[in-house]
Structure 1
């Protein structure tokens, strides 16, 4: 079972905080145990085995973000996870398909967060063991030697939005899932909801987050509203009743693409652990 069938929230948890592992699993749909950015160099070796044990114990709800391929910890991360039977990993700063091919025994969430990684996104998505693409704005700006991914109003710069859609398109072209980047302002729940709603509308399957308080707003943002469900039910019922390829429903002209939107809304509702199926 893919971790991406569990729900739309993926919560990062520092790998050197085993006291938080159970709490994170209780809150989010999937937990990303982080051996990379969330912990310092002096903690990486000590964190590796506890993370491997925790992820192996919850194989359908756990992902481990290993350290980057060019780091001094990558080989030990992969060897430990392989020995523990961990299946799901996240590969940070991915850019080379050969690195992905060396991980054939893992299901890999590919993290495109460098210029090279964004440019390589279509090739990375095409690899058989790539199960999803995720993008990261902050590392990308660091790679560009920029100052911020967002403007004064808190919204992404146009360049970052371009990267967001580039990764989404690369994943969709290969039939893979796309995961939206984290919202780094912990207290900005309104901005989080707006950003998550945009992601759900555009076709992202999930969004990662860095704090447990983000889980509920993300689930709500990815769940179709009652009005959306009602509209989808009406569209599909009218389509079945009239049998026409194109028909009018209120002020809308309904054709193939809108029928697809309606089906997607109801599929998301049926698969949503928060909102019950429509009656």
Structure 2
């Protein structure tokens, strides 16, 4: 069964207290951050801390490392210092072109061979819209390597790079450019056959706003969301977990499709509605999000 990635939680890579607490949180995955959460003069020391923590028991949670951009000297050093601990994958910030992703793959190919790690098993999640160039090239970035299992999008870095005065309106909704980036992330992820992970919600005190944004994300096709505070994880998990009634209905629909297919029937009435192949696809995707067969 595929891993569920409803909640991926950012943890500063050099903070032992937060790292210890993170191992008690209900997140599906933890992202140990070597980029924004670490000052330039602390990055070398923090790599050692992250490498040590990666060797601990994560209780079934996925172990991710957010590396620095590969275009910086720090990015390659992040990979070299942490790959021996065999993280599940790396979160890649600010890829501007497919070539940036392919450069990471070349480094990983070499390091996996060096450390006896099966080739291609180290996965990537790409934060593909943190620069204007990345947003324009998001499709080629998302399809640059089969190592990619998910793409996400970034709003704050994109807004800063473009000099946007703000990224949300007075009601907290994304303005046009961030919303375009969000839509493109979802569409491109679907086209590439990878997961779409929604970006962070920065107002950690507004759990109602977080819930609304999660519900909107589900409606847009996102399968999970990145969290930045422990209080956000329960809301994210709840919203991105399909309700039992929806799961039961999806199971029933899939079973009926299988029965009808035996007779060569691929469109029929289900609970008063005509259903066909797209309904089957949605039902199967919902069951995958629920983590059931």
TM-score by length of 1: 0.87
Output one character per residue of 1:111-134: Cα deviation in whole Å (capped at 9) or x when no partner. Answer: 121111111111111122323211
Q: CA 1:76–1:201 in 2, change beyond 3 Å: closer, same or farther? A: same
Residues 101-112 of structure 1: pairs in structure 2 closer than 5 A:
101-104=102-105, 105=108, 106-112=122-128
- The 10-residue stretch of structure 1 (235-244 or 122-131) with the greater mean CA deviation from structure 2: 235-244
Partner of 1:42: 41
Contact 2:70 2:104 in 1 (8 A): no
Say yes or no: does 1:198 pair with 2:207: no
State the alpha-carbon separation in 1 of the partners of residues 277 and 237 from structure 2: 28
Instruction: Tell me the equivalent position of 2:10.
Output: 12
> RMSD across aligned C-alpha pairs, in angstroms?
2.4
Q: Given that residues 33 and 63 in structure 1 are in contact (C-alpha distance below 8 angstroms), is that contact kept between their aligned partners in structure 2?
A: yes
Gaps of 5+ in 2: 109-121
Matched, 1:53 2:71: no
Q: 1:147 aligns to what? A: 165
Partner of 1:81 in structure 2? 82
Q: Distance in 2 between matches of 1:122 and 1:89?
A: 19
**Structure 1 unaligned residues grouped into runs of 5+:** 272-276
Residues 1:175 and 2:176 aligned together? no
Greater mean alpha carbon deviation, residues 212-221 or residues 223-232: 223-232
Which secondary structure does the structure 2 equivalent of 1:150 belong to?
Answer: coil
The answer to which of 51-60 and 72-81 deviates more is 51-60
Q: Deviations over 1:238-267 (max 9, x none)?
A: 445656432233442222212222222233
TM-score, length basis structure 2? 0.83
**Cα gap change, 1:58/1:206 in structure 2, threshold over 3 Å: closer, same or farther?**
farther
Q: Secondary structure at the match of 1:13?
A: strand
Q: Distance in 2 between matches of 1:46 and 1:214?
A: 29
